[in-house]
Structure 1
Amino acid sequence: MSNGSTKTTTKSTFHFAAGLGSGVLSAVLLQPIDLLKTRVQQSGSHSLSAAIADIRAAPHIIQALWRGAVPSALRTGFGSAIYFTSLNAIRQNAARISFLALPSTTAPIATGPGATSTSRHSSSLPKLSNTGNLFAGAVARSFAGFILMPLTVLKVRYESTFYKYSSLVGAARDIAGREGLRGFFAGFGATAIRDAPYAGLYVLFYEQSKRRLSSLYGASTSPDATPQSRSDKKMGVSRAASINFASAMVSGVVCSIISNPFDAAKTRIQLYPDTYRNMVHATRRMVSEEGFRALWDGLALRMSRKALSSALAWTVYEELIRRAEVTWSSGGGGKARSNL
């Protein structure tokens, strides 16, 4: 294997590891919010207080709050690893396509050979146009969602009070015995319709927010500052992390509001596949029996969870990549910045 191929493999592995670590961290910390969201969406009661009362009545509250943490961590961890790795690969290749690349009239941080970069940005990841970000986010999320769909079904059913599974192995056996392989992909249509636009819009809003906030930071820098001093400020952990965290939070809130109806329908399909056959049928039945409010069940919880998990995952991931880039660049003997 050539030296270039070895470096590419190493960097892809690091993207996978960084995504895995950030995903597991956010999943474990925010599992109680995700659990409550599933409980609220599982029926038409719309009652958060009832879900909290059920958990408080459990013999071990802490254990009850983190029920489903293992499948959630596995799903989110490996989902983030696959997503970030594939997203980076897609963005690297999309940057070579003219209508997907960032226009030269903006202030990009290109990472390809011969590309220029700017120090006034919180990120060192590949930069694309709005169309490119929409495309990359949607494709990467759909790919990761399909691979992780069995874990998603297990997670939702394990968190629910409807099935009362005592173990993940028991849940898997029950699904396989009653529904076959198809049962592990229940709700994929609704999930894909929810996740593809969500991820595409998320990457678009996230990159736009980072660019604008980074530009504001750059504009506030003294015009007499040297390029080196500006670069040092850019590389500061606190400033870059704050920009990335704020951008991820805002993007998570906006995209959660847009995609919540699909999430509510997806949860019903995964919990009651015999009752809700597909997304269209689930949506119509929920609206006819419970009103439009049913499509917004769990919005506050999902919005909070998505905003926080996205902020944690993206901030940790970006900082790990930034640190790795510095290491790779310093190991290059002063050569141009490595292409992540």
Structure 2
Amino acid sequence: MSDGSKTALSKSTFHFVAGLGSGVVSAVLLQPFDLLKTRVQQSGTNSLSSAIADIRAAPRLLPALWRGAVPSALRTGFGSAIYFTSLNAIRQTAARLSPGRSATAGATPNPQSSSSSLPKLSNTSNLVAGAVARSFAGFILMPLTVIKVRYESTLYSYTSLASAGRDILAKEGVRGFFSGYGATTLRDAPYAGLYVLFYEQSKKRLSALVAPVSSASQSSQTTMMATPHAATINFTSGILAGGLCSAVSNPFDAVKTRLQLQPARYRNMVFGAATLVREEGIRALWDGLALRMARKALSSALAWTVYEELVRRAEVGWERSRGRGEMRG
């Protein structure tokens, strides 16, 4: 294996590990938001106050609040790992193939150029890359998603992940593990695409406000943005992008939850959406919106900030190692 291939493999492995770590951290910290959202969306009669009352009535409060944390951490952790790895590969390829892009959009972006060391792409490329990467990750992690949602719900009394998997397989077959995939994809693909687009645009504008550079430095090289500034920009951009995209995609999330909890009743995405609106009104499509906006905005911001900071530091290390290697050569 050539040195270039080893370096590419090493970077891909790092992106996978960084995505895994950032996903697990955000999933565990914010599991109570996810749990409450599922409880609110599982039935039109459930409200946030009743969901909180049910949890408070549990013998032990903390385990009740973090019920489903294990499948959530596994799903979000590995989902983030697959997502960030595939997204990076897609964006690196798009950057190399895009004509007229600057040097910072190449295969080895400059970690000093802004708050991010990731490739700089057009709005359309960011939109498509995010949607494709999320659809791919969502398909692979769909079985864990179904188990997670049912584990969080009060409609099922699963005692372990293994028992949940056996029950779904016995009653619904393999198809049961992919309940709601259509609605999930329609929710996640636009969400992820718009998220990357809004996130990158927000970073670009905030970077210009926080770290303006002189025209002289622009003509030569940009300055290293301090880590606190970079992390603040990335986190703020993540909050803004996550909140906006959550509001746009919440109807698909509401239908997806019903499909995964009661597939026999709601059958498919179109029928499920029509049934939900007919029986409970159009407001039901926005059940759990505040919880989802809070959870998604915070989780996306945490995941992207941790991921970007790890990548920034790694890129600096890789550049220094390459420089030392060239000097020895």
Asked if these proteins are the same fold (TM beyond 0.5), I'd say yes
Matched, 1:112 2:102: no
TM-score normalised according to structure 2 size: 0.94
Specify which of 144, 148, 155 is matched with residue 155 of structure 1: 148
Of 187, 193, 199, the match for 2:180: 187
CA distance in 1 between partners of 2:8 and 2:16 (Å): 12
> Structure 1 pair 335/197, CA: closer, same or farther in 2 (3 Å)?
farther
Q: Distance in 1 between matches of 2:52 and 2:61?
A: 10
How do residues 21-36 of structure 1 correspond to structure 2 at under 5 angstroms? 21-36=21-36
Residues 165 and 300 (structure 1), Cα distance of their counterparts in 2 relative to 1, 3 Å cut: same
- Deviation per CA, 1:249-298: give whole Å up to 9, x if none: 00000000000000000000000000001111111011100001100000
Alpha-carbon shift at residue 227 of structure 1 (Å): 9.1
Q: Per the alignment, do residues 226 and 127 of structure 1 end up closer, same or farther by CA in structure 2, a change over 3 Å counting?
A: closer
Aligned 1:189-338 pairs, distance under 5 A = 189-219=182-212, 221=213, 231-232=223-224, 234=225, 236-333=226-323
Check the 8 A contact 2:96/2:106 in 1, yes or no. no
Provide the aligned length of Structure 1 versus Structure 2.
Answer: 326
Inter-CA distance 247–335: structure 2 relative to 1 (3 Å threshold): farther
Out of 157, 160, 171, the position equivalent to 1:178 is 171
After the TM superposition, which residues 81-120 of structure 1 pair with which residues of structure 2 at under 5 Å, given as runs?
Answer: 81-98=81-98, 104=101, 109-112=104-107, 119-120=112-113
Distance 1:218 1:334, change over 3 A: farther
Does 2:47 match 1:47? yes
Q: 2:159 aligns with which of 142, 145, 166?
A: 166
CA-to-partner distance for each residue in 1:135-157, whole Å, 9 max, x for gaps?
10000000000000000000000
Paired residue type of 1:147: I
Percentage of identical aligned residues: 68
Letter in 1 for 2:251: P
The answer (yes or no) to whether the contact 1:138–1:198 under 8 Å persists in 2 is yes
The Cα shift of 1:39 comes to 0.2
Q: Do the aligned partners of residues 28 and 227 (structure 1) sit closer, same or farther apart at CA in structure 2, a change above 3 Å counting?
A: farther
Please report how far the alpha carbon of residue 37 of structure 1 lies from its aligned counterpart in structure 2 after TM superposition. 0.2
Structure 1 residues 329 and 293 mapped into 2: Cα distance closer, same or farther (>3 Å)?
same
Q: CA-atom RMSD, angstroms?
A: 2.1
Structure with more helix by fraction:
2
Q: Conserved in 2, the CA contact under 8 Å of 1:120 and 1:217?
A: no
CA–CA separation in structure 2 for the residues paired with 1:45 and 1:89: 44
Unaligned runs of 5+ in 2: none
Q: Which amino acid aligns with 2:77?
A: G
Choose 242-251 or 223-232, whichever is displaced more.
223-232
Determine whether 1:79 maps to 2:79.
Answer: yes
Q: What TM-score does the superposition give when structure 1 sets the normalisation length?
A: 0.91
Deviation of 1:96 (Å): 2.6
Contact 1:265 1:295 in 2 (8 A): yes
Q: Could you say what secondary structure the match of 2:115 adopts?
A: coil
Gaps of 5+ in 1: none
